[in-house]
Structure 1
Amino acid sequence: MPDSENLIRRQMAEQMQETFASGLNAVTWALLRSGSRSAADDEKMLYAAFASAYHYLETGSAAEQQRAEWLISRVYAVLGNGRESLRHAERCNALTLANAADMAEYDKAFALEALARANAVAGNAVEADKIRAQAEAAGKAIVDEQSRKVFMDELNWK
């Protein structure tokens, strides 16, 4: 097989991974925002978040991987599983710190938001309040007005 054909196949595979990642991310968000979900919807939401993370791991940037961990943490928080929510929030935060130069300004705030929310769901109220205050300060420092508004709306869970 010629090198050019191999290159085209690799590019197509990457494009498919990106399409799956973003599509599954959208499915997860649609289910998160759904007014009423069945147990089957909850399961689909969790699997979609994990599948999106897998595809971002295969082809995405550090920021996309960080955001995928954030989304998994959020899904677990919504499902009431504080232990798993906290585990993925910690992974999100670790990716944020390890790849600071690759993150948008709001990624740090969202990593802190995930840690705060996960701690709250896990029953660690004091830690949740402390980290939530850090998240709020990081959110207020977001320069882009629209990004700041989106973040503050997401932080408005208490």
Structure 2
Amino acid sequence: MTDDERQLAVDLFNGVWGLLERDDRTVEDDDRMIHMAHASRYHWGEVGEAVNRSRGEWQCSRVYAVLGRGEPALHHALRGLAICREHDIADWDLAFAFEALARAYGVRGETDKARENKERALAVAIADDEDRELLLKDLATVPA
């Protein structure tokens, strides 16, 4: 069951990305996206490691931010950062935890906190240049 559950977590996570990238999402698609993100995070909690849980929280935060729902976006961003800190997760996962915080604060209209967390994200050492470019690209879309 563990392999099946792991695959389900992956498929749900990837399915959320498919919905996030669509410009023509319906209200039903948005609901599905929320439920899929939470389901993926749940399954990672059962079969994954701390880094998978942190990424799941990040994805939940992103979904809520895209939908303009600042409070749950902030909640999940804070959870993702807490998991990173609790398990000494660094590199791009830590940078994206700060990116999620910046985005959530931006959605909430808290521009000072959004800028502060963008700066924190930029200060994180990221070993891979492509990962750093992904971070810079995402940070450029943070409302601040």
Paired position in structure 1 for 2:140: 156
Number of residue pairs the alignment of both structures matches: 142
Q: Which has the larger radius of gyration?
A: 1
CA contact (8 A) 2:84 2:90 kept: no
Identity of aligned residues (%): 39
Which string of whole-angstrom CA distances, capped at 9 and with x for unpartnered residues, describes residues 127-155 of structure 1?
111111111222xx312111111222221
Give the Cα–Cα distance (whole angstroms) in 2 for the partners of residues 28 and 88 of structure 1: 16
Which string of whole-angstrom CA distances, capped at 9 and with x for unpartnered residues, describes residues 101-140 of structure 1?
xx351011000000111011112111111111111222xx
* Residue 31 in structure 1 maps to residue 19 in structure 2: yes
Paired position in structure 1 for 2:109: 123
Give the Cα–Cα distance (whole angstroms) in 2 for the partners of residues 77 and 120 of structure 1: 9
Give the Cα–Cα distance (whole angstroms) in 2 for the partners of residues 104 and 49 of structure 1: 23
Letter in 2 for 1:92: G
Give the Cα–Cα distance (whole angstroms) in 2 for the partners of residues 105 and 136 of structure 1: 11
Q: Indicate how the Cα distance of structure 1 residues 135 and 104 shifts in structure 2: closer, same or farther if over 3 A, else same.
A: closer
* Residue 20 in structure 1 maps to residue 8 in structure 2: yes
Which string of whole-angstrom CA distances, capped at 9 and with x for unpartnered residues, describes residues 69-124 of structure 1?
00000000001110010000000000010011xx3510110000001110111121
Structure 2, unaligned runs of 5 or more: none
Question: What TM-score do the two structures reach when normalised by structure 1?
Answer: 0.86
Question: What TM-score do the two structures reach when normalised by structure 2?
Answer: 0.95
* Residue 48 in structure 1 maps to residue 32 in structure 2: no
**Higher RCO (C-alpha under 8 Å, 6+ residues apart):** 2
Runs of 4+ in 1 over 2 A off after TM superposition: none
Paired position in structure 2 for 1:73: 61
Compare the two structures and name the one with the higher helix fraction: 1
Give the Cα–Cα distance (whole angstroms) in 2 for the partners of residues 95 and 89 of structure 1: 10
Give the Cα–Cα distance (whole angstroms) in 1 for the partners of residues 90 and 58 of structure 2: 14
CA contact (8 A) 2:105 2:114 kept: yes
Give the Cα–Cα distance (whole angstroms) in 2 for the partners of residues 16 and 27 of structure 1: 16
Letter in 2 for 1:31: L
Structure 1, unaligned runs of 5 or more: 1-12
Paired position in structure 2 for 1:133: 119
